[in-house]
Chains A and B, each alone.
Chain A
Amino acid sequence: MAETQEKIVYQRPHSLAPVVTNYCPGCTHGIVNRLVAEVIDELGIEGETIGVSPVGCSVMMYNFYNCDFLEAAHGRAPAVATGVKRVHPDKVVFAYQGDGDLASIGMAETVHAATRGEKITVIFINNAIYGMTGGQMAPTSLPNQVTQTSPYGRDVSTAGYPVRVCELLSSLDGVAYLERVCVDSPKNIRKAKKAIKRAFQNQIDGVGYSLVEVVSTCPTNWGMTPTDAFEWMRNNMLPYYPLGVYRDVVADGFANAAEAAAARAAECPIAMAQNPQLDEIHAANAARVEGGDR
């Protein structure tokens, strides 16, 4: 009798806890949560990873993962992640945020964590609506998009225009990597996972701040089936939020964000000046880390 050969082709990632999530059926959060967990598993960093969840639909993420987690106030995940990362520069710290959290109430924290070049990873879910509070206009809601608080469609003459986060952050020197992806097909899911893995690997390699924007859907608050929601996303969101890489200092030939920033500031005397005092401080602190005295 022939022996049965078992090969596991699909299972729950270890870093994803065996619990029921609060996500609606058809929501892309579930896919992206899983991709992040797969990346954590593949990099073997569950024990070294500390997550920060936002306020919004993924507020309960600390229950969905097996790694250490913090729940942040609305919009403050980048600041909270900064605090954690500064205490544990050798650990992997990621924030997971929605559009209201990241690009509205937390815009200051987002921009400044990015320009400081915090070596953190940010996963940004852009579904153009506030999901948890029941479908209000988001900073990324499209012109004419109907929401609970733009009942006649987003009126750009009064509510202004959506924020394109990757484009906005791409001008900042602290940023190492920005990519916009979506998860509407197996092919795109694979691309999204590759981007998420890059964003984590960059942190491990000390390359700089990395953010992956996932153009997403909200079937519940958009009032559509999941498949119609993807269709609407492809037709309306992708032209406004084109997929692609918006910044990649490594592809540009630099070792990290700091090198790219220096090249850009090459003509600025003070920015390029030697600074023996800082060199001394950096050397002393590197020795402290080396000696385990930190």
Chain B
Amino acid sequence: MSEKVLMKGNEAIAESAIRAGCRFFFGYPITPQTELAAYMAKRMPKEGGTYLQAESEVAAINMVYGAAAAGARVMTSSSSPGVSLKSEGVSYIAGADLPCLIINIERGGPGLGSIQPSQSDYWQATRALGHGDFQMVVYAPATVQEMADVAYGAFDIADKYRTPVMILGDGMLGQMMEPVELPERKTDLPEKPWATTGHGNVRQKNIANSLYLDAEELEKSNIARYERYDQIKANEQRAELVDCDDADIIIVAFGASSRIARSAVRAAREEGIKAGLFRPITLWPFPVDALEATKAHAKAYLSVEMNMGQMVDDVRLVVRDAAPVDFYGRVGGVIPTPAEVLNKIRQINEGLGE
């Protein structure tokens, strides 16, 4: 029987990761992910694991690289400016096909920005966290329970596809408390015959590497990685659809802003407006198939984000000319209110009548 406890989102990720078999955490202090690292500092030594406060975000992600290559379930957590610093290491991890979990509890940017919640790292997470052609699986949980759930499953996905996985949260989700049912401890972790563990004179040597001086070899390795990305796109798209079946107006929102959008959609329905919520749980792969299916009846789309308009690009790539795609966002740590979003829905609805 699983237990139900009241926890902060940051702590739920940490506890769930430990239960998923993660015994190595390397990080550097930054607000607003603080509780996650503090929780790990408290728990890891008592689990026989490692909590190591690195000298920098750069060092932390490279420790993750080493531990991942050595075959461990390993993670790091940070917030936007710190994640930027990690981008070098994430590129190397992707290039060496190593599994790990990276948490970004986003804050406002660019630069030092703010310490208030934000979703302005959507592009960074889904497009370009580091140099070179690569992607990583990005989860956008919207509740403390879902933070625990995706953290628990993230290591399996990372190991299965040999890829870094990111959980993209924000200061609001990370620091709010909700009841959460924690998962059972995983015991059977997958074998990693490719890991650099010392060959023990029983196998050929293993190498963790992203360097290919031969152009055709490097091309081949990139193509092989993208074949795995095709599998991820086919198997791992996840989204929650609320009242979308008959919706005229589909609100697309993820993470914290989806909670506000959910309230706005409910209020719109009460007014007789046929609105629905489409909530991507995976930002990459973007849940293209489920969104595509809504085009049969939806007359308009509205992307609600805590940024200047980033995910809206992905929505437009799916919707194309089938319906107008609008955007509503607040930034800098300002959280949009359900009333603001409802107003926007009303405006769009009026436009549909014309």
Contacts and interface: CB of A to CB of B under 8 A. Distances in A.
A12 interface: no
Interface string B70-82: 1110100000000
A112 B201 contact: no
B197 interface: yes
Given A84-B67, A88-B198, A69 B205 contact: yes
B198 to A, nearest CB: 5
Contacts of A182: none
A84 B48 CA distance: 16
A82 B52 contact: yes
A50 B70 contact: yes
Contacts, number: 143
Contacts of A52: 66
Nearest to B63: A83
B202 interface: yes
A285 interface: yes
A108 B48 contact: no
Contact of B62 (A59, A79, A85, A86): A79
A294 B210 contact: no
Query: Which of B197, B205, B209 has the most C-beta atoms of chain A within 10 angstroms of its own C-beta?
Result: B205
Nearest to A285: B48
B139 to A, nearest CB: 23
A76 B198 contact: no
A179 interface: no
Interface residues of A, number: 41
A49 interface: yes
A73 interface: yes
B56 interface: yes
Interface centre among B52, B198, B206 (most CB of A within 10 A): B198
A76 B62 contact: yes
Which among A50, A60, A71, A87 has the highest number of chain B CB atoms within 10 Å?
A87
Interface in B204-258: 205-211, 213
Contacts of B284: none
Interface in A62-101: 62, 65-73, 76, 79-88, 91-92
Contacts of B72: 87
Please give me the 10 A-B residue pairs with the lowest Cβ-Cβ distance, nearest first: A83-B66, A79-B62, A112-B55, A83-B67, A87-B70, A83-B63, A76-B62, A80-B66, A47-B201, A68-B196
Interface of A: 46-50, 52, 59-60, 62, 65-73, 76, 79-88, 91-92, 108-109, 111-112, 281, 284-285, 288, 293-294
17 contacts: A47-B200, A67-B199, A68-B207, A70-B207, A71-B209, A73-B89, A80-B65, A82-B59, A83-B26, A83-B63, A83-B64, A83-B68, A83-B74, A86-B66, A91-B197, A109-B59, A285-B48
Interface of B: 24, 26, 45-46, 48, 50, 52, 54-56, 58-60, 62-72, 74, 88-89, 92, 96, 196-202, 205-211, 213
